[in-house]
Every structure is written in structure tokens, then in C-alpha cells.
Structure 1
């Protein structure tokens, strides 16, 4: 009888553990996040260019992050599937150009990509394996072309200030969605709000821009007039 009770409890624990993993690693959509290097560097902490040299004056990828409709998100879903550089060798030059690391000390980007895959990518591996995950992010960046969309609206990275509403409108045009996501801002040493990151909602497959399923998400830490610094 004691053995039977122990076995029953053991099986229940395994089932609960399995359910916890399923819940933790499920997701409803992605946030595709890009950051403006000029704003990243124009802070008290500064930045370091990659070992491959100064990136282009363009938005860089920060990540492709699984999220849930209720505002929660899974993370670090599969420690048994760590980042493997050999899986993305054919994407390496594109990643260095479009997904550079600006953190210090200077690096070739591998530690950045490792972090993004281990924390976020492993939570989407039922849909996107490692190669597909990074390829999807690169394709989304090309599809949105944020810098071109902003410049088409007369919003240029030259240190000028622009209405946040105009920035939102330009990104809406680029994505084709009124509720595309949101903009987040940081501040420079003078306290000016800067256009820093753009969050765009992407469907479960990681391929298509969508209207965000979350409610009440607004631009983060942004004044009504936002600086777009040069880089």
C-alpha cells in the first residue's frame, strides 16, 4: 500500500511538472523589438561598437520575444537546447549587420544572440528552430524597414524633435496596423526623451505583423515631443 501511494504521488508530480512546462513555454504572439543605436549610445552608460566595426545608421534588432495576450511571457524554456553557433553560420554576416551588440566590452555579437535564443527563442522552438528563429527576425526587419518609413514621413535621425503621434503614424503605415505595438524612449544626459525602441506585434508563426492582441499598451516613457538622435 505504501509503495502504491508513493507511486501515485510520483506520477502526479511528473504530470504537474509537465503541465507547468507546457504553460510556461506556450505563447500567443511575438513582440519584434528594434532599437535605435544613436539612443542606445547617447546615455551616461555609453556604448561599444562591435569588433566588426561601427554598425550602419539604422535600427538594429533587439529580439523576437514570445508573449501572451494577458501581458505575461515565457522565458528560458529549454535549458537542454542552448544556443549553437553552427546552426546560423549562413546568417552570420546578416546578423552582424542587422543584429549587432552595442554593449561593453566590444564583442562579435555571439553573447547577445546566445542570450536572446536561450531566454526567448527556446520558448518558440515548437514553431521556430534556432535557424528559423533568427531568419524570421531578419525577414521581419526587412519587411518593416522602420528607418525608411520614418524618413518618408520627414522624421530623420539628426537630433531634431518630432511629435510622438507622427512617429506612431509612420510606424502604423510601415506595418499596416493601427495597433502595431508601441514605442519606448530613454533619456540623454540632458533629460531629453529619445526614440529608443519600437515593439511590433507579430503572429504566432513569427511571419506577419498583426494588430496587438493586448489592450491598454501605450508608448513607454515618451514625452509628446521625442528626439531622434544621430548615429
Structure 2
């Protein structure tokens, strides 16, 4: 038997084909649900080693802002950079003022609309089987109106006053208002204190209905039992 028919070659070929199929599956544009993610600017600007720049409109009010609308699979993996959906800024002009207010960028140097381009190219293109460009951004804006994280927290006495709060209480306050348990992501400030940064809820493929999260990721953004809510 030639080397092309050896068991070791067949095993290697099988592995390569399996990896290729996994890559294709992760970028084919299909998905099961969205994570709708909001961030607290006070934590973004207070994290260790990070600078923030305000948009041309100046420092925004003390509110959670949209960070992304990300398609996911039920097992916690996600598609990305699916292509085939060129960003057309002209389509967003009717909602541009709202996007500037609700979905701003705070990176340095200030990138403005490039943040929307990035989010559409990386995440939106993988949801275009359900939502086109206009529908994708409109869904995020509509969800922002429905999921008022700051109101949920302050109603429970959890305020952005640089104090520590139990992570459990933060999650329960958001769940009480939305009806669904959130995914809370923390970062660390220069003193190494865990602080609330991002809050995500799960949404069905239509981008309209909140659902129970099939999977809550674990990783560097895990929070400690007591987390800081920085002032802004």
C-alpha cells in the first residue's frame, strides 16, 4: 500500500476535513439566537490600561449604551465575518441620530461610524438570513428602549456611586425587570477591583423577543461575588 493509503494519512485527512467543516459551519451565517449587549461607560473608561474618547457630541449622559447585537449558537459558539453584506451607510441616515446617541463608540482615537461598520461586518452579516442591515440596527435600537438596565438597577437601590454590590443582587434586579436572567460581564479597574461593564440578554432570531439564554459564556469577563458600580 502506498503512503497515500496508510492509516496515518487517512486519519490526518479526516481531521483536516473535520476542521474545514467546523470552520464552514461557524461562518455560514446561520445562528440560533442573539446576545443583545449594553455597556456602562463608567467602567469602560475606568478599566485598567484603557483610555476612552468621547464622540463629537461630547460626553453622553449616565446611561448604558449599546455595545452589540451578536448572533450565537446554542452551544455557546458563534459565527463571525460571514461576508456578503456590504455596509451601506446611506441606509442608516433615518436612524443616524439615534445611533449616535444609543450606539456610540468610545475607543481612542474616536472611530465613530466605523464602529457600526465593524459590528455589521463581524456580526450583522451572520444574521442577514433573518435581518437585513436596516432591520439589524433597528432591532438593536428597539431593544435598547425595552431593556433599561440602569432603571432596573437603580430601582433596586443599586446606583453608580463607586460602591460594591453583590453580583447576585445585580442579576436579580435585571431579571426582575426584564423577566430573564442576564449575562453580566466585568472588567477590572487600576486597583484590580471587579466592576460591572457589560450586561447582555438573549433575544430570538427575529431580534424582537427576549428568551432564556441557552448558554452563558465563561471566561476573562467573569465577575467576583462583589462588584463595583463606578460613577460616571
Alignment TM-score, normalising by the size of structure 1: 0.86
What are the Cα deviations for residues 148-169 of structure 1, in whole angstroms up to 9, with x where unaligned? 0100000011111111111000
Contact 2:87/2:133 (CA < 8 Å) preserved in 1?
yes
Alignment of 1:4-19 (within 5 A): none
2:77 corresponding residue in structure 1: 72
Q: Secondary structure in 2 aligned to 1:34?
A: strand
- Structure 1: runs of 5 or more not aligned: 1-15
What are the Cα deviations for residues 119-177 of structure 1, in whole angstroms up to 9, with x where unaligned? 00011112111111011001111101110010000001111111111100011012212
Shift of 1:24: 2.4
2:172 corresponding residue in structure 1: 169
- Pick closer, same or farther for the CA change 1:223–1:131 going to 2, 3 Å: same
For 2:43 and 2:140, the matched residues in 1 are separated by 21
Among 69, 89, 93, the alignment partner of 2:93 is: 89
1:227 corresponding residue in structure 2: 228
Alignment of 1:139-150 (within 5 A): 139-150=142-153
2:163 corresponding residue in structure 1: 160
- Structure 2: runs of 5 or more not aligned: 1-19
Compute the RMSD of aligned alpha carbons.
2.1
- Pick closer, same or farther for the CA change 1:218–1:201 going to 2, 3 Å: farther
- Pick closer, same or farther for the CA change 1:125–1:227 going to 2, 3 Å: same
For 2:62 and 2:198, the matched residues in 1 are separated by 14
Shift of 1:21: 6.8
Count of aligned positions: 211
For 1:40 and 1:20, the matched residues in 2 are separated by 34
For 1:168 and 1:127, the matched residues in 2 are separated by 29
2:56 corresponding residue in structure 1: 51
Alignment TM-score, normalising by the size of structure 2: 0.85
Contact 1:182/1:219 (CA < 8 Å) preserved in 2?
no
